[in-house]
Amino acid sequence: MGNKNKTVSFRVSQDSFEKLREIAEERDLSLSAVFRDYVDKLVAHDGQVKVVPAHQVEESDEDAPEFPPKVKVPKSFLREHERLELEAEHLRDQLEEHKRYVTHLREKLEESDEDEEVVKLEDLDDELTEDVDLDDNYTLG
């Protein structure tokens, strides 16, 4: 059997929920990620995890991996990400503008279909070939 993820749900008070959301925002994580990390630590340490304020953490834990793990991202990466987000937004705006223009052209075409007759070039060619003897040679010059 493969590993299947399971869902755990429980209820907390409104105050606790707001505090958890603040913690998640401070760490730039989702609430789900906070709980997944906590559960992973709890399982890894056989239920011996103790939650304490950051200022009460013992100095002997310096060798332990940082929780939650933090990654330093170069500013160039952040700038490139922001640039790409702006470009994506610009492209979305252009797409919306294009869609409006296509809709406008379709409406205009529907209006003009009632007023004008469309003549296809193939039909004109067929009419001309019926009237002309195909054995005659024409020279352009």
Task: Round the average pLDDT of the chain to a whole number and report it.
Answer: 78
pLDDT tens readout for residues 40-54:
888 888 777 777 777
Summarised one tens digit per residue, pLDDT across range 12-27 is 888 888 888 888 888 8
Whether residue 91 is contained in a domain is answered as yes
Domain membership of residue 133 (yes or no) is no
Q: Which of 31, 70, 30, 67 is nearest to 49 (CA)?
A: 67
Q: Are 51 and 84 members of one domain?
A: no
Contact 54, 64 (CB under 8 A): no
Does 102 map to a domain?
yes
Higher pLDDT, 61 or 81: 81
Between 69 and 82, name the one with better pLDDT. 82
What's the domain count of the chain? 2
Is residue 128 assigned to a domain? no
More confident residue, 62 or 48: 48
Asked whether residue 132 is domain-assigned, the answer is no
Residue 36 lies in a domain: yes
Same domain, 49 and 18: yes
The pLDDT value given to residue 138:
62
Supply the range of the domain harboring residue 89: 75-116
Residues 47 and 79 reside in one and the same domain: no
Handedness of CA 122, 124, 125, 130 (dihedral sign): positive
